[in-house]
Amino acid sequence: MNQSEELGHLIQGFTSSKGLTLEKIQSTLGKALVLNGTESDEYSQVFQASHVGTVRGLLLEKIEFRQPGPKSKSTGFLIIQISGSCYSKSSVENLYQPLQLIQVPRGHSEHEQIAYKHEFTWGELSFGFSQSEPHCLVSIALSPAHRDC
């Protein structure tokens, strides 16, 4: 598989059926996420996994899923940190166009990202590229538009 196919295959695992749920995420990853009680509250439950390993061709460093709590109006979201190979912006653009620039580094940290988003009817995907290597993808975020997306 090429970079675009690997990336598309991973994202399809999270978006192929209705709802972004803990069960779907764990099934796609083949790894359990652990509840982080210190970051969780009545507005969101935070589930995480570190050093996830290779999933559908991509080396995943960290996963964080924020599941809406009972007092939340949020839809929740998933953040995936990528390590290993440099996945280029063109690999992302081969799958998702147009990309809209939504964030640029402001000089507050060495770890800031250049971020782009692509919108769907179900929500949006955001892609973060390293400030030091702006051609390398370092994170993906999935944000459903509705709780039942």
Query: Please, are residues 90 and 97 in contact by the beta-carbon 8 Å criterion?
Result: no
Give the pLDDT confidence score for residue 140 in this predicted structure.
95
User: Above 80 in pLDDT, residue 40?
Assistant: yes
Q: How do residues 92-140 score in pLDDT, each as one tens digit?
A: 999 999 999 999 888 787 778 999 999 988 889 999 998 888 889 999 9
The span from the CA of 24 to the CA of 100, in Å, is: 27
Give the pLDDT confidence score for residue 29 in this predicted structure.
87
The span from the CA of 44 to the CA of 39, in Å, is: 8
Query: Please, are residues 77 and 149 in contact by the beta-carbon 8 Å criterion?
Result: no
pTM of the model: 0.87
Q: Mean pLDDT across the stretch 68-95?
A: 87
Report residue 121 CA to chain centroid gap. 17
3-state SS class at 29: helix
User: Above 60 in pLDDT, residue 31?
Assistant: yes
User: Which helix (DSSP H) or strand (DSSP E) does residue 137 occupy?
Assistant: strand 137-144
Give the pLDDT confidence score for residue 149 in this predicted structure.
46
